Structure 1
Amino acid sequence: MTQQTYAVSGMSCARAVAAVATAIAALPGVEDVNVRLAMGQVDVRGHEQPALADLRAAVAQAGYELMGAVR
């Protein structure tokens, strides 16, 4: 299983956390999503990571912006 952390911009409440988590969880290969509101980050775990473009599109559909991977 792989894990990657991404920075997400624009989240400010529990509704944002739920929207981002739901959008990412719907992507193929994703098994677990942990959104950390205070850090503006999301951890994505699964057998393989979705393509960055797919993650960005899912987060944008939820109304937020995926900034990129965090090292």
Structure 2
Amino acid sequence: MARKQYLVTGMSCEHCAASITEEVSRVPRVNEVDVDVTAGSVSVGGTDLDDGLLRAAIVEAGYEVAEAVAA
């Protein structure tokens, strides 16, 4: 399983985590989403993950992707 990890700005609570998890889970081939509000990170597991779709899902949830980091 491939993993991608992003630093995300604007998250402050569990509602933020739930919103991101819901949107990112809709992206094709995503099997797992882990959101760490304290660290400001989102880790995604799946197969053949599309970086553009993952970033768009985070933005759709109302947050900004600061940068992608090595997973």
Across the aligned residues of Structure 1 and Structure 2, the Cα RMSD in angstroms comes to 1.0
Equivalent residue number for residue 9 of structure 2: 9
Equivalent residue number for residue 39 of structure 2: 39
Equivalent residue number for residue 29 of structure 1: 29
- In the aligned structure 2, how far is the partner of 1:4 from the partner of 1:60? 16
**Structure 1: which 5+ runs fail to align?**
none
- In the aligned structure 1, how far is the partner of 2:30 from the partner of 2:4? 11
> Shift of residue 25 of structure 1?
0.7
Letter in 2 for 1:69: A
How many residue pairs end up in the alignment?
70
Equivalent residue number for residue 68 of structure 1: 67
8 Å contact 1:55–1:66 — kept in the other structure?
no
Moved runs in structure 1, 4+ residues, more than 3 A? none
- In the aligned structure 1, how far is the partner of 2:21 from the partner of 2:4? 14
- In the aligned structure 1, how far is the partner of 2:49 from the partner of 2:32? 11
**Structure 2: which 5+ runs fail to align?**
none
* TM-score with structure 2 setting the length: 0.89
- In the aligned structure 2, how far is the partner of 1:30 from the partner of 1:67? 21
Equivalent residue number for residue 55 of structure 1: 54
